[in-house]
Amino acid sequence: MLTPDQITAIAPDAASLKAGRDLATPRKWQVTGGDAEVLWGLAMGSGKEPYQTRVSLGDLATKCSCPSRKFPCKHALGLMFIAAGNPGGFQQGERPPWVSEWIDARSAREEKAVARAEEKASKPVDEKAAEKRRAKREGRVEEGIALLQQAILDLTREGLASPGARDASAWENLARRMIDSQAPGLAGALRHVADTVLRDPEVDDELPLELGRLYLLLHGHSRRDEFDELTRAELQAQLGGKSGDEALAPEVVEDDWFVAGRRVEERDRLITASTWLYGTRSQRWARLLRFAPVPQTIAEPWPLGSTVKAALKFQPGLYPLRVGPDSEGFPLMSGSPGAHEESLDALLDRFATALAANPFLRVLPFLIRLRPSADGSLLCDAAGRALPWIASGDLALKIECISGGRLVSICGEWDGRFLRPLAMEDSGVWIPLVSQQA
């Protein structure tokens, strides 16, 4: 199930990626082999002995005997590129001892980690210390909320056309204060203002809307004891951080999930991979977030365009979309899902329903057969309905060339004003339209 895009996304840098592609030819390897769990190979190098290269297919972890300090190294990348280009060309023989030893050692470490976690969970909790930590954390969050409330009131008194309201660096500084206050959700909302809202040509309309959404969140948090459990869970999720109320268990949904779109971004030396999954039977959407600090990379075992049999754990909220990173699954096949949204009207109805349930919702994913309009300003569905879309000039040209005026399946996000494409299908192959690397 390896794909070139998936391998490219985990390359540590451009030089390693180029060297890995150069090694993606069998003549540069003495031996290549693999099974459902692991790939292995002996790469010919400058040393006397060939380099022993291994790749775990479950999480794309790698190990190589070469002296490189990059992970994955060029040999691991080359081995994966060979597997992606010719999956049937690998011998299915018995694993060499040096491969089995590595797999066994990894399994032993995982078992020890589970045992340590279970041992830690079984120890009695120091209730006084836990309460003290919780109170300290909540105090810092309350300080951050009070600071942000005052900042919003100051901005409205000065006027939203004032220099302070339109200064992206001021919003960024305020976001850093929210990080210090252990409210990363608020920091993300403030950075959305700095990065997106202030650059929007309709900022005069969007900035008041965003400030209203923020103030509603802060006001709702101050009255959280009056709300039901789901509303409290949503408010906590919007603030970020850990919730003190663990009464609500995640909802587990088993389905065949189509990996429809993915975006990878870097901020403050933290890489975030956001993946949209579509349940082919439940027709539900799920958003899976993975994080890694720079210079690490995120290995995505579920490639774009594949269908994964998985039990996803939805985090509680008013309109649950986010699923936990501990959700487990394995790829079934590549190709398009068996069902998808049929029209833009259906998307608008779903967005209205979602926004009525959760007023803090910013975007909703879609998977619809669309084509660019004649002037390129709209995306049209089979019924002739159209909505405006936003993309760079190069991306728009790419979509127009691939579609060729035909209806093609496109996955993206709708924010209430614009469609933002993330991936599209071309003859059964799913093509990413945004960066898969930080």
SS3 of 100-117: the string is HHHHHHHHHHHHHHHHHH
The H or E element containing residue 276 is strand 270-279
**The domain 344-432: what is its CATH number?**
2.40.50
How many Cβ atoms are within 10 Å of 9's Cβ, its own excluded?
24
Q: What is the mean pLDDT of residues 330-342?
A: 61
Tell me what the pLDDT averaged over the chain comes to: 87
pTM for the model stands at 0.79
Q: Where in the chain is the domain with CATH 2.40.50?
A: 251-334, 344-432
Pick the more confident residue, 89 or 411: 411
CA 424/CA 431 separation, integer angstroms? 5
pLDDT at 258: 92
Strands 386-388 and 285-293, sheet pairing: unpaired
Give the residue-averaged pLDDT of 2-15. Answer: 81
pLDDT value of residue 325:
67
**What is the reported pLDDT for 331?**
56
Query: Which fold does the domain 251-334 belong to in CATH?
Result: OB fold (Dihydrolipoamide Acetyltransferase, E2P) (2.40.50)
Model pLDDT for residues 172-224, shown as the tens digit of each residue: 999 999 999 999 999 999 999 999 899 888 899 899 999 999 999 999 999 99
Q: What is the pLDDT of residues 144-182, one digit of tens each?
A: 999 999 999 998 898 988 888 899 999 999 999 999 999
Identify the pLDDT of residue 424.
93
> What value does the mean pLDDT take over residues 84-92?
74
Q: What's the token pair of residue 363?
A: 């975007």
Q: Are 73 and 22 in contact (CB under 8 A)?
A: no
* Cβ-proximal residues to 55 (8 Å cutoff; 6+ apart), any chain: 38, 39, 40, 61, 62, 72, 76, 79, 80, 83
3-state secondary structure 159-188: CCCCCCCCCHHHHHHHHHHHHHCCCHHHHH
Q: How far apart are CA 81 and CA 7, in angstroms?
A: 7
Which H helix or E strand runs over 97? helix 97-122
pLDDT grade, residue 244 (50/70/90)?
A: very low
Question: What percent of the chain has pLDDT above 90?
Answer: 56
